[in-house]
Protein backbone atom coordinates (compact mmCIF):
# COMPACT_ATOMS: atom_id res chain seq x y z
CA UNK A 1 0.00 0.00 0.00
CA UNK A 2 1.31 3.50 -0.90
CA UNK A 3 3.01 5.20 2.02
CA UNK A 4 0.49 7.35 3.90
CA UNK A 5 1.67 10.95 4.00
CA UNK A 6 0.16 14.37 4.67
CA UNK A 7 1.33 17.38 2.68
CA UNK A 8 1.68 20.73 4.41
CA UNK A 9 1.79 23.81 2.18
CA UNK A 10 2.76 27.24 3.48
CA UNK A 11 0.74 29.60 1.30
CA UNK A 12 3.02 32.47 2.34
CA UNK A 13 5.95 30.86 0.52
CA UNK A 14 4.26 28.21 -1.61
CA UNK A 15 6.56 25.58 -0.03
CA UNK A 16 5.01 22.10 0.31
CA UNK A 17 6.43 19.23 2.30
CA UNK A 18 5.13 15.68 2.72
CA UNK A 19 5.13 14.34 6.26
CA UNK A 20 4.84 10.59 6.99
CA UNK A 21 1.84 9.26 8.93
CA UNK A 22 2.67 6.79 11.71
CA UNK A 23 -0.13 4.22 11.85
CA UNK A 24 -1.02 2.38 15.08
CA UNK A 25 -2.62 -1.01 15.78
CA UNK A 26 -5.96 0.63 16.60
CA UNK A 27 -7.19 4.23 16.38
CA UNK A 28 -5.93 7.27 14.48
CA UNK A 29 -2.45 7.44 13.03
CA UNK A 30 -0.31 10.53 13.65
CA UNK A 31 1.39 12.92 11.26
CA UNK A 32 5.09 12.79 12.16
CA UNK A 33 5.92 16.53 12.18
CA UNK A 34 9.32 16.28 13.93
CA UNK A 35 10.91 18.24 11.04
CA UNK A 36 8.12 20.87 10.65
CA UNK A 37 10.10 23.68 12.33
CA UNK A 38 13.22 22.80 10.34
CA UNK A 39 11.21 22.83 7.07
CA UNK A 40 8.94 25.85 7.67
CA UNK A 41 10.30 27.73 10.70
CA UNK A 42 6.85 27.25 12.22
CA UNK A 43 5.56 25.41 15.32
CA UNK A 44 2.22 23.63 15.73
CA UNK A 45 -0.28 25.16 18.16
CA UNK A 46 -2.52 22.80 20.16
CA UNK A 47 -3.30 24.01 23.73
CA UNK A 48 -4.46 21.07 25.85
CA UNK A 49 -3.02 18.70 23.23
CA UNK A 50 -6.46 17.82 21.82
CA UNK A 51 -4.89 16.63 18.52
CA UNK A 52 -1.30 15.94 19.59
CA UNK A 53 0.34 12.60 20.29
CA UNK A 54 3.30 12.92 22.68
CA UNK A 55 4.61 9.40 22.19
CA UNK A 56 3.92 5.99 20.80
CA UNK A 57 2.83 3.43 23.40
CA UNK A 58 1.99 -0.29 23.55
CA UNK A 59 0.25 -0.09 26.91
CA UNK A 60 -3.34 1.24 26.76
CA UNK A 61 -5.80 2.09 24.01
CA UNK A 62 -9.02 4.12 24.33
CA UNK A 63 -11.70 4.48 21.65
CA UNK A 64 -13.67 7.47 22.92
CA UNK A 65 -16.50 7.10 20.41
CA UNK A 66 -17.01 3.39 21.00
CA UNK A 67 -16.37 3.52 24.76
CA UNK A 68 -13.50 1.01 24.50
CA UNK A 69 -10.60 0.71 26.97
CA UNK A 70 -7.89 -1.93 26.42
CA UNK A 71 -4.92 -2.68 28.71
CA UNK A 72 -2.30 -4.35 26.47
CA UNK A 73 -5.18 -5.38 24.16
CA UNK A 74 -7.43 -6.88 26.87
CA UNK A 75 -10.88 -5.21 27.29
CA UNK A 76 -11.32 -3.54 30.68
CA UNK A 77 -14.61 -5.34 31.40
CA UNK A 78 -12.92 -8.75 31.07
CA UNK A 79 -10.01 -7.72 33.30
CA UNK A 80 -12.36 -6.17 35.88
CA UNK A 81 -14.36 -9.39 36.03
CA UNK A 82 -11.61 -12.04 35.75
CA UNK A 83 -8.26 -10.55 36.77
CA UNK A 84 -6.71 -9.05 39.92
CA UNK A 85 -5.01 -5.73 40.49
CA UNK A 86 -1.57 -7.29 40.85
CA UNK A 87 -2.05 -9.39 37.71
CA UNK A 88 -3.14 -6.25 35.82
CA UNK A 89 -0.11 -4.40 37.23
CA UNK A 90 2.16 -7.15 35.86
CA UNK A 91 0.32 -7.01 32.51
CA UNK A 92 0.73 -3.23 32.20
CA UNK A 93 4.44 -3.39 33.02
CA UNK A 94 5.37 -6.51 31.04
CA UNK A 95 2.90 -6.58 28.15
CA UNK A 96 1.61 -10.11 28.71
CA UNK A 97 -0.56 -11.83 31.33
CA UNK A 98 1.73 -13.70 33.77
CA UNK A 99 1.85 -17.48 34.01
CA UNK A 100 1.32 -19.05 37.45
CA UNK A 101 5.01 -18.91 38.43
CA UNK A 102 5.49 -15.37 37.08
CA UNK A 103 2.45 -14.17 39.03
CA UNK A 104 3.67 -15.86 42.23
CA UNK A 105 7.14 -14.31 41.81
CA UNK A 106 5.68 -10.86 41.10
CA UNK A 107 3.24 -11.09 44.03
CA UNK A 108 6.10 -12.22 46.26
CA UNK A 109 8.27 -9.28 45.19
CA UNK A 110 5.49 -6.76 45.81
CA UNK A 111 4.75 -8.34 49.19
CA UNK A 112 8.42 -8.13 50.20
CA UNK A 113 8.53 -4.40 49.47
CA UNK A 114 5.39 -3.23 51.30
CA UNK A 115 7.30 -1.99 54.38
CA UNK A 116 8.64 1.57 54.41
CA UNK A 117 11.71 2.80 56.28
CA UNK A 118 10.64 3.34 59.88
CA UNK A 119 11.95 6.92 59.84
CA UNK A 120 9.41 7.72 57.09
CA UNK A 121 6.75 7.74 59.81
CA UNK A 122 8.30 10.94 61.16
CA UNK A 123 7.33 12.75 57.96
CA UNK A 124 3.65 12.45 58.91
CA UNK A 125 4.23 14.14 62.24
CA UNK A 126 5.06 17.31 60.30
CA UNK A 127 1.52 17.43 58.91
CA UNK A 128 -1.42 18.95 60.74
CA UNK A 129 -4.09 16.30 61.42
CA UNK A 130 -6.35 17.84 58.74
CA UNK A 131 -3.69 18.00 56.00
CA UNK A 132 -5.18 16.96 52.66
CA UNK A 133 -4.21 13.32 51.98
CA UNK A 134 -2.93 14.22 48.50
CA UNK A 135 -0.56 16.77 50.05
CA UNK A 136 0.80 14.01 52.28
CA UNK A 137 0.98 11.42 49.49
CA UNK A 138 2.69 13.79 47.04
CA UNK A 139 5.26 14.75 49.68
CA UNK A 140 5.98 11.30 51.09
CA UNK A 141 6.15 9.50 47.72
CA UNK A 142 8.68 12.07 46.53
CA UNK A 143 10.66 11.59 49.74
CA UNK A 144 11.04 7.84 49.04
CA UNK A 145 13.86 8.80 46.66
CA UNK A 146 15.81 9.98 49.73
CA UNK A 147 16.10 6.34 50.79
CA UNK A 148 17.08 4.90 47.40
CA UNK A 149 18.78 7.68 45.45
CA UNK A 150 22.18 5.93 45.59
CA UNK A 151 20.80 2.63 44.28
CA UNK A 152 18.74 3.83 41.33
CA UNK A 153 20.15 3.41 37.83
CA UNK A 154 17.27 4.35 35.53
CA UNK A 155 19.25 3.11 32.54
CA UNK A 156 19.35 -0.42 33.96
CA UNK A 157 16.10 -2.36 33.27
CA UNK A 158 16.48 -4.41 36.46
CA UNK A 159 16.91 -1.26 38.57
CA UNK A 160 13.86 0.27 36.86
CA UNK A 161 11.82 -2.83 37.64
CA UNK A 162 12.93 -2.80 41.31
CA UNK A 163 11.87 0.86 41.59
CA UNK A 164 8.53 0.02 39.99
CA UNK A 165 7.91 -2.83 42.44
CA UNK A 166 8.89 -0.64 45.41
CA UNK A 167 6.48 2.12 44.34
CA UNK A 168 3.53 -0.25 43.70
CA UNK A 169 4.23 -2.05 47.00
CA UNK A 170 4.67 1.02 49.20
CA UNK A 171 1.85 3.25 47.97
CA UNK A 172 -0.84 1.46 50.07
CA UNK A 173 1.41 1.58 53.17
CA UNK A 174 1.94 5.33 52.71
CA UNK A 175 -1.76 5.87 51.92
CA UNK A 176 -2.85 4.02 55.04
CA UNK A 177 -0.29 5.91 57.15
CA UNK A 178 -1.76 9.20 55.90
CA UNK A 179 -5.22 7.96 56.87
CA UNK A 180 -4.09 6.85 60.34
CA UNK A 181 -2.34 10.22 60.87
CA UNK A 182 -5.57 12.00 60.00
CA UNK A 183 -7.72 9.94 62.35
CA UNK A 184 -5.09 9.95 65.10
CA UNK A 185 -4.72 6.18 65.26
CA UNK A 186 -1.48 4.14 65.32
CA UNK A 187 -0.04 3.13 61.94
CA UNK A 188 -0.77 -0.47 60.94
CA UNK A 189 2.04 -2.47 59.39
CA UNK A 190 1.51 -4.46 56.18
CA UNK A 191 0.74 -8.16 56.60
CA UNK A 192 2.36 -10.48 54.07
CA UNK A 193 -0.36 -13.15 54.19
CA UNK A 194 -3.05 -10.74 52.99
CA UNK A 195 -3.96 -9.91 49.38
CA UNK A 196 -2.93 -6.49 48.05
CA UNK A 197 -6.42 -5.06 48.55
CA UNK A 198 -7.01 -6.98 51.78
CA UNK A 199 -3.75 -5.59 53.15
CA UNK A 200 -4.83 -2.08 52.18
CA UNK A 201 -8.17 -2.46 53.99
CA UNK A 202 -6.41 -3.92 57.03
CA UNK A 203 -3.87 -1.07 57.20
CA UNK A 204 -6.69 1.46 56.81
CA UNK A 205 -9.24 0.10 59.25
CA UNK A 206 -7.73 -2.35 61.74
CA UNK A 207 -6.98 -1.11 65.28
CA UNK A 208 -4.76 -2.62 68.02
CA UNK A 209 -7.76 -2.77 70.35
CA UNK A 210 -9.83 -5.25 68.37
CA UNK A 211 -9.72 -7.94 65.67
CA UNK A 212 -10.49 -6.69 62.17
CA UNK A 213 -12.20 -8.96 59.71
CA UNK A 214 -11.80 -8.12 56.02
CA UNK A 215 -15.17 -8.11 54.28
CA UNK A 216 -14.68 -10.16 51.06
CA UNK A 217 -17.19 -7.96 49.20
CA UNK A 218 -15.17 -4.89 50.14
CA UNK A 219 -11.87 -6.63 49.23
CA UNK A 220 -13.19 -7.59 45.78
CA UNK A 221 -14.73 -4.16 45.15
CA UNK A 222 -11.49 -2.44 46.19
CA UNK A 223 -9.44 -4.67 43.89
CA UNK A 224 -11.81 -3.98 41.00
CA UNK A 225 -11.71 -0.21 41.59
CA UNK A 226 -7.92 -0.34 41.53
CA UNK A 227 -8.00 -2.29 38.23
CA UNK A 228 -10.38 0.24 36.67
CA UNK A 229 -8.06 3.12 37.55
CA UNK A 230 -4.78 1.39 36.62
CA UNK A 231 -3.98 3.19 33.36
CA UNK A 232 -5.57 5.49 30.80
CA UNK A 233 -3.23 6.43 27.92
CA UNK A 234 -1.62 9.88 28.12
CA UNK A 235 -3.97 11.55 30.65
CA UNK A 236 -2.72 14.63 32.48
CA UNK A 237 -1.03 12.84 35.38
CA UNK A 238 0.58 10.15 33.21
CA UNK A 239 1.85 12.81 30.82
CA UNK A 240 3.26 14.60 33.87
CA UNK A 241 5.08 11.45 34.99
CA UNK A 242 6.49 11.02 31.47
CA UNK A 243 7.55 14.68 31.16
CA UNK A 244 9.17 14.69 34.60
CA UNK A 245 10.80 11.32 33.89
CA UNK A 246 12.13 12.56 30.53
CA UNK A 247 14.59 14.77 32.41
CA UNK A 248 16.19 11.66 33.93
CA UNK A 249 14.84 12.30 37.41
CA UNK A 250 14.19 9.31 39.64
CA UNK A 251 10.82 7.50 39.36
CA UNK A 252 9.75 8.39 42.92
CA UNK A 253 10.01 12.10 42.04
CA UNK A 254 8.24 11.52 38.71
CA UNK A 255 5.37 9.63 40.40
CA UNK A 256 5.15 12.38 43.02
CA UNK A 257 4.68 14.87 40.16
CA UNK A 258 1.94 12.58 38.82
CA UNK A 259 0.21 12.66 42.22
CA UNK A 260 0.30 16.46 42.15
CA UNK A 261 -1.29 16.55 38.68
CA UNK A 262 -3.93 13.95 39.57
CA UNK A 263 -5.04 16.05 42.56
CA UNK A 264 -6.76 18.64 40.35
CA UNK A 265 -10.61 18.59 40.33
CA UNK A 266 -10.65 18.40 36.52
CA UNK A 267 -8.74 15.11 36.77
CA UNK A 268 -8.44 12.68 39.67
CA UNK A 269 -9.84 15.19 42.15
CA UNK A 270 -13.22 14.82 40.45
CA UNK A 271 -14.30 11.84 42.57
CA UNK A 272 -13.99 13.94 45.73
CA UNK A 273 -15.68 16.84 43.91
CA UNK A 274 -18.61 14.57 42.91
CA UNK A 275 -19.42 13.76 46.54
CA UNK A 276 -19.12 17.41 47.54
CA UNK A 277 -21.40 18.30 44.62
CA UNK A 278 -23.96 15.66 45.74
CA UNK A 279 -23.74 17.07 49.28
CA UNK A 280 -24.31 20.60 47.89
CA UNK A 281 -27.29 19.48 45.75
CA UNK A 282 -28.63 17.74 48.82
CA UNK A 283 -32.00 16.62 47.51
CA UNK A 284 -33.46 15.30 44.25
CA UNK A 285 -35.76 18.34 44.10
CA UNK A 286 -32.66 20.55 43.56
CA UNK A 287 -31.30 18.54 40.60
CA UNK A 288 -32.99 20.64 37.90
CA UNK A 289 -31.54 23.84 39.37
CA UNK A 290 -27.99 22.42 39.36
CA UNK A 291 -28.34 21.06 35.83
CA UNK A 292 -29.22 24.62 34.74
CA UNK A 293 -26.21 25.97 36.65
CA UNK A 294 -23.94 23.45 34.83
CA UNK A 295 -25.30 24.70 31.49
CA UNK A 296 -24.91 28.38 32.35
CA UNK A 297 -21.76 29.73 30.69
CA UNK A 298 -21.55 32.48 33.30
CA UNK A 299 -21.70 29.98 36.15
CA UNK A 300 -18.39 28.22 36.97
CA UNK A 301 -20.36 25.22 38.30
CA UNK A 302 -19.76 22.03 36.31
CA UNK A 303 -21.42 18.66 36.78
CA UNK A 304 -18.46 16.87 38.35
CA UNK A 305 -18.06 13.28 37.18
CA UNK A 306 -19.47 14.19 33.76
CA UNK A 307 -17.59 14.72 30.53
CA UNK A 308 -14.25 13.50 29.29
CA UNK A 309 -11.59 14.67 26.87
CA UNK A 310 -11.60 11.34 25.04
CA UNK A 311 -14.84 9.50 25.85
CA UNK A 312 -17.63 11.05 23.82
CA UNK A 313 -19.73 8.08 24.78
CA UNK A 314 -20.18 6.29 28.10
CA UNK A 315 -16.89 5.75 29.99
CA UNK A 316 -16.71 1.91 30.08
CA UNK A 317 -15.30 2.14 33.59
CA UNK A 318 -18.38 4.06 34.75
CA UNK A 319 -20.59 1.27 33.43
CA UNK A 320 -18.68 -1.32 35.47
CA UNK A 321 -18.46 0.84 38.58
CA UNK A 322 -22.19 1.64 38.41
CA UNK A 323 -22.93 -2.12 38.60
CA UNK A 324 -20.41 -2.68 41.41
CA UNK A 325 -21.87 0.28 43.28
CA UNK A 326 -25.24 -1.43 43.52
CA UNK A 327 -23.62 -4.76 44.51
CA UNK A 328 -21.53 -3.19 47.28
CA UNK A 329 -24.37 -1.08 48.67
CA UNK A 330 -26.71 -4.10 48.66
CA UNK A 331 -24.05 -6.20 50.41
CA UNK A 332 -23.54 -3.44 52.96
CA UNK A 333 -27.30 -3.02 53.48
CA UNK A 334 -27.00 0.52 52.09
CA UNK A 335 -29.09 -0.01 48.93
CA UNK A 336 -31.24 3.00 49.78
CA UNK A 337 -28.20 5.28 50.18
CA UNK A 338 -29.63 8.76 49.50
CA UNK A 339 -26.51 9.89 47.64
CA UNK A 340 -26.74 6.91 45.28
CA UNK A 341 -30.38 7.75 44.67
CA UNK A 342 -29.44 11.37 44.01
CA UNK A 343 -26.61 10.32 41.68
CA UNK A 344 -28.95 8.05 39.69
CA UNK A 345 -31.52 10.86 39.37
CA UNK A 346 -28.84 13.35 38.33
CA UNK A 347 -27.54 10.92 35.70
CA UNK A 348 -31.05 10.19 34.42
CA UNK A 349 -31.96 13.89 34.00
CA UNK A 350 -28.57 14.93 32.58
CA UNK A 351 -28.54 12.17 29.96
CA UNK A 352 -31.91 13.39 28.65
CA UNK A 353 -30.88 17.05 28.54
CA UNK A 354 -30.01 18.46 25.08
CA UNK A 355 -26.97 20.33 26.43
CA UNK A 356 -25.33 17.13 27.70
CA UNK A 357 -26.39 15.16 24.66
CA UNK A 358 -25.08 17.80 22.22
CA UNK A 359 -21.77 18.16 24.08
CA UNK A 360 -21.56 14.37 24.55
CA UNK A 361 -21.16 14.64 28.31
CA UNK A 362 -21.59 11.25 29.96
CA UNK A 363 -20.74 10.01 33.46
CA UNK A 364 -17.03 9.18 33.75
CA UNK A 365 -15.08 6.92 36.09
CA UNK A 366 -15.32 9.43 38.91
CA UNK A 367 -19.10 9.70 38.98
CA UNK A 368 -19.82 6.53 40.95
CA UNK A 369 -16.46 5.58 42.44
CA UNK A 370 -16.81 7.96 45.38
CA UNK A 371 -20.09 6.37 46.43
CA UNK A 372 -18.37 2.99 46.68
CA UNK A 373 -15.37 4.39 48.52
CA UNK A 374 -17.76 6.01 51.01
CA UNK A 375 -19.59 2.68 51.46
CA UNK A 376 -16.20 1.04 52.14
CA UNK A 377 -15.65 3.55 54.96
CA UNK A 378 -13.20 5.82 53.13
CA UNK A 379 -13.70 9.55 53.83
CA UNK A 380 -14.33 11.91 50.91
CA UNK A 381 -10.97 13.69 51.15
CA UNK A 382 -9.28 10.29 50.57
CA UNK A 383 -10.99 9.51 47.27
CA UNK A 384 -8.29 11.02 45.04
CA UNK A 385 -5.64 9.17 46.99
CA UNK A 386 -7.46 5.93 46.15
CA UNK A 387 -7.38 6.97 42.49
CA UNK A 388 -3.60 7.47 42.82
CA UNK A 389 -3.19 3.97 44.29
CA UNK A 390 -4.98 2.52 41.27
CA UNK A 391 -3.07 4.62 38.74
CA UNK A 392 0.36 3.77 40.15
CA UNK A 393 1.06 0.69 37.97
CA UNK A 394 0.05 2.71 34.92
CA UNK A 395 2.35 5.55 35.89
CA UNK A 396 5.32 3.22 36.46
CA UNK A 397 4.61 1.17 33.31
CA UNK A 398 4.46 4.35 31.19
CA UNK A 399 7.62 5.67 32.88
CA UNK A 400 9.45 2.40 32.12
CA UNK A 401 8.26 2.50 28.50
CA UNK A 402 9.36 6.13 28.11
CA UNK A 403 12.83 5.54 29.61
CA UNK A 404 13.29 2.47 27.38
CA UNK A 405 12.08 4.27 24.20
CA UNK A 406 15.09 5.23 22.06
CA UNK A 407 13.00 7.92 20.33
CA UNK A 408 12.18 9.75 23.56
CA UNK A 409 14.18 12.88 24.45
CA UNK A 410 13.67 15.46 27.18
CA UNK A 411 10.17 16.89 26.76
CA UNK A 412 10.45 20.58 25.91
CA UNK A 413 7.37 22.10 24.16
CA UNK A 414 7.66 25.40 22.23
CA UNK A 415 5.19 28.35 22.20
CA UNK A 416 3.77 31.24 20.24
CA UNK A 417 5.20 34.35 21.92
CA UNK A 418 2.61 37.14 22.17
CA UNK A 419 4.34 39.35 24.75
CA UNK A 420 5.96 42.76 24.47
CA UNK A 421 8.22 43.45 21.48
CA UNK A 422 11.94 43.81 22.30
CA UNK A 423 12.58 47.10 24.16
CA UNK A 424 15.34 48.81 26.22
CA UNK A 425 15.37 49.13 30.01
CA UNK A 426 13.83 52.40 31.29
CA UNK A 427 15.66 53.86 34.30
CA UNK A 428 13.49 54.37 37.38
CA UNK A 429 13.64 58.18 37.25
CA UNK A 430 12.19 58.04 33.71
CA UNK A 431 9.17 55.79 34.52
Catalytic positions are 308, 366
Distances (CA, A) of 279 to 248, 343, 411: 43, 11, 41
Q: Is 322 in the site for ligand SDX (CB under 6 A)?
A: no
Member of 113, 121, 293, 302 binding ligand SDX (CB under 6 A): 302
Member of 72, 132, 170, 308 binding ligand SDX (CB under 6 A): 308
3-state secondary structure of 21: strand
Specify whether the CB–CB gap between 177 and 118 falls below 8 A: no
Show contacts with ligand SDX in window 237-276 (CB under 6 A).
266-267, 270
Q: Is 296 in the site for ligand SDX (CB under 6 A)?
A: no
Q: What is the DSSP string of 27-81?
A: S--EE--TTHHHHHS-----GGGTT------SSEEEETTTTEEEETTEEHHHHHH
Minimum distance of ligand SDX from residue 296's CB (angstroms)? 9
Member of 309, 312, 323, 345 binding ligand SDX (CB under 6 A): 309
Residue 96 or 299: the one with the smaller Cβ distance to ligand SDX is 299
Show contacts with ligand SDX in window 353-412 (CB under 6 A).
359, 361, 364-366
Specify whether the CB–CB gap between 256 and 235 falls below 8 A: no
Q: Is 76 in the site for ligand SDX (CB under 6 A)?
A: no
Minimum distance of ligand SDX from residue 200's CB (angstroms)? 20
User: Which residue's CB comes closest to ligand SDX?
Assistant: 307
Binding track, positions 1-40, relative to ligand SDX; x by CB under 6 A: ----------------------------------------
Show contacts with ligand SDX in window 124-183 (CB under 6 A).
none
> How far is 107 from 90, CA to CA, in rounded Å?
9
Q: Beta 68-71 vs 60-63: how paired, if at all? A: antiparallel
- Residues 6 or more apart whose Cβ sits within 8 Å of residue 176: 187, 188, 200, 203, 204
Binding track, positions 36-75, relative to ligand SDX; x by CB under 6 A: ------------x---------------------------
Q: Is 307 in the site for ligand SDX (CB under 6 A)?
A: yes
3-state secondary structure of 10: strand
Total of residues contacting ligand SDX (CB under 6 A): 21
Specify whether the CB–CB gap between 226 and 85 falls below 8 A: yes
* Nearest residue to 363 via CA among 377, 349, 379, 374: 349
Show contacts with ligand SDX in window 206-235 (CB under 6 A).
232, 235
Summarize as ranges the residues that interact with ligand SDX (CB under 6 A): 48, 232, 235, 266-267, 270, 294, 302-310, 359, 361, 364-366
Amino acid sequence: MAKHTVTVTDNATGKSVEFPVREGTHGPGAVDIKTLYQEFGLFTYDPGFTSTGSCRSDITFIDGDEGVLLYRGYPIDQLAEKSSFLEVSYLLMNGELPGKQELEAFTGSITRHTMVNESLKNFFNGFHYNAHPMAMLTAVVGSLSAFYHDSIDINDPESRELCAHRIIAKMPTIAAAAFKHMVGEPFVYPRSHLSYSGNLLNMLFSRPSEDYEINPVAEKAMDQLLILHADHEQNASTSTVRLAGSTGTNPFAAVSAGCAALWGPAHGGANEAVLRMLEEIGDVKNVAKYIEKAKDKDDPFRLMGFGHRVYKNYDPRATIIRKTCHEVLNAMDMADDPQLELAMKLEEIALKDDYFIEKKLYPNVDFYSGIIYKALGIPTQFFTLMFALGRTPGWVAQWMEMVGDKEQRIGRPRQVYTGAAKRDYTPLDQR
